[in-house]
Amino acid sequence: MAPPRASAQDGCGHAPAPDQADGVQVLNILRSYHAAEKAQRDRMRGSMEMNDADLSALAHLLQADHEGRALRPIDLSRLLNISTASTTTLIDRLETSGHLTRGAHPTDKRALILIPTMGEDTDVYQTFSVIYQRMLAVAQSLTPIEAATVGKFLGQITAALDPASAPRSPA
């Protein structure tokens, strides 16, 4: 499937200079991706009857679980950029709804870890999995050179938007 064509205007409603047309097209495609991702999240929130923070928390919990990592409440707080009080309320909500349990940290007995309770047969897991697999298939179709180019571009865009969250280059 071919990428969408750039409109005759940039995101600010101006016609791009000829030497900027390719860059404007890429930014327009990036905006289209962002809109598609937001629409998908809105559909998921509606079908799961969850707010955005809960849905993001579940995504982080599933990702960490998939990677064999445990998340503590403070980790979730930082990932979601919310206060510890808001995180406690969110965790209480997800625990009440059966999406997670609190468990003892394996090495720090004073700390808790958050354990997702969504098995592979649950709607939540299936929804995240289907979307992830579709996106992964697209990413895996890239050649190594294309993947490096996309990775570099997205890292630079991330740094342009939020220098503090930019991915670190391997040393």
In CATH, the number for domain 52-116 is 1.10.10.10
Tokens 């995504």 -> residue: 59
pLDDT digits (tens, 9 = 90+) for 17-61: 666 678 889 999 999 999 998 888 888 777 777 788 988 898 899
**112 CB contacts (<8 Å, ≥6 apart)?**
72, 73, 102, 103, 104, 105
pLDDT digits (tens, 9 = 90+) for 85-116: 999 999 999 999 888 999 998 888 888 999 98
Whole-model pTM: value is 0.64
Question: Which sequence spans correspond to the domains of the chain?
Answer: 52-116
Question: How far is CA 20 from each of CA 66, 72, 101, 103, rounded to the nearest angstrom?
Answer: 41, 45, 51, 53
CA distance 98 to 89: 14
Q: Which residue type is seen at 158? A: T
DSSP-assigned beta bridge partners for residue 115: 101
